[in-house]
């Protein structure tokens, strides 16, 4: 079957010839060569999941009325990705990194205006101590939250201990969070300026562990593990 026939069948069977298709979340699993990109219809969506692909390769199938997006998951195609208005305007951003980040890319990442940014399985390739030092030197808005989603609980614990030691004498220890019903993960705050501090902690459910760096008011904010897990349940 030739490619044009495939495109026509996709258009008629799935899309029915409509010029605009409304979906809550658009998932793209295929590389940019997918026949889907040849379909003339446009998707109107609030959420776009490009998985490990660079979202820029799929913008032609999204109606501009969709922007700004409430949620965007994407890989990166280089430093230029961080300057794209679609990425910078997303309310919630999930980035899939494939390799250790350069100094320039780390700076671009931390200059993003998005207040809610998550990373899948990238804790090993991001220097969190360097990230925290940057956030101290360049304070972020209160409510900014970076979440690292991991499966390896022991690695998350080790990373928390590494940060704890790096900021010895410049942190305030808090009650640990739990793992399998017992106190396990260190939790602490690191001062930034007179009005804000960084809350560093981890929570887990039965499948994943969430390592979190959050900018909170210096006066503090209410925190419960249950509420945090509810907040993380929306990340998919």
Higher-confidence residue of 69 and 224: namely 69
- State which of 88, 110, 132 marks the end of a domain: 110
Contact 12, 34 (CB under 8 A): no
Quote the domain boundaries for residue 23.
1-110
Residue finishing a domain among 55, 90, 110: 110
pLDDT at 105 over 90: no
Under 8 Å CB-to-CB from 196, ≥6 apart: which residues? 139, 142, 215, 216, 217, 218
**Element spanning 217, H or E:** strand 209-217
Distance CA 177, CA 165 (A): 18
Point out the domain boundary residue: 59, 83, 110: 110
Cβ-Cβ contacts under 8 Å for 97 (sequence gap 6 or more): 75, 76, 119, 122, 125, 126
Q: Model pTM?
A: 0.85
Asked if 221 and 125 sit in the same domain, the reply is yes
Say if residue 36's pLDDT is above 60: no
Is 5 in the same domain as 34? yes
Please state the separation of Cα 225 from the chain's center in Å: 20
Which whole number is the average pLDDT over 111-125? 89
């Amino acid at each position: 079957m030739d490619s044009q026939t495939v495109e026509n069948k996709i258009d008629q069977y799935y899309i029915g010839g409509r010029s605009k298709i409304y979906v809550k979340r658009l998932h793209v699993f295929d590389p940019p060569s997918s026949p889907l990109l040849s379909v003339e219809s446009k998707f109107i969506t609030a959420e776009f999941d490009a998985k490990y692909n660079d979202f820029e390769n799929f913008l032609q199938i999204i109606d501009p009325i969709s922007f700004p997006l409430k949620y965007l998951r994407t890989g990166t195609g280089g430093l230029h990705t961080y300057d794209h208005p679609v990425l910078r305007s997303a309310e919630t951003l999930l980035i899939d990194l494939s390799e250790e980040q350069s100094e320039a890319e780390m700076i671009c990442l931390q200059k993003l205006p998005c207040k809610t940014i998550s990373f899948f399985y990238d804790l090993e390739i991001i220097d969190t101590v360097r990230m925290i030092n940057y956030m101290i030197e360049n304070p972020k808005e209160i409510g900014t939250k970076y979440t690292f989603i991991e499966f390896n609980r022991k690695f998350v614990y080790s990373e928390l201990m590494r940060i704890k030691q790096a900021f010895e004498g410049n942190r305030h220890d808090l009650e640990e969070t739990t793992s399998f019903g017992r106190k396990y993960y260190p939790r602490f705050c690191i001062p930034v300026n007179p009005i804000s501090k960084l809350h560093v902690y981890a929570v887990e459910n039965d499948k994943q562990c969430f390592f979190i760096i959050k900018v909170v008011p210096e006066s503090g904010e209410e925190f419960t593990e249950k509420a945090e897990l509810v907040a993380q349940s929306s990340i998919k």
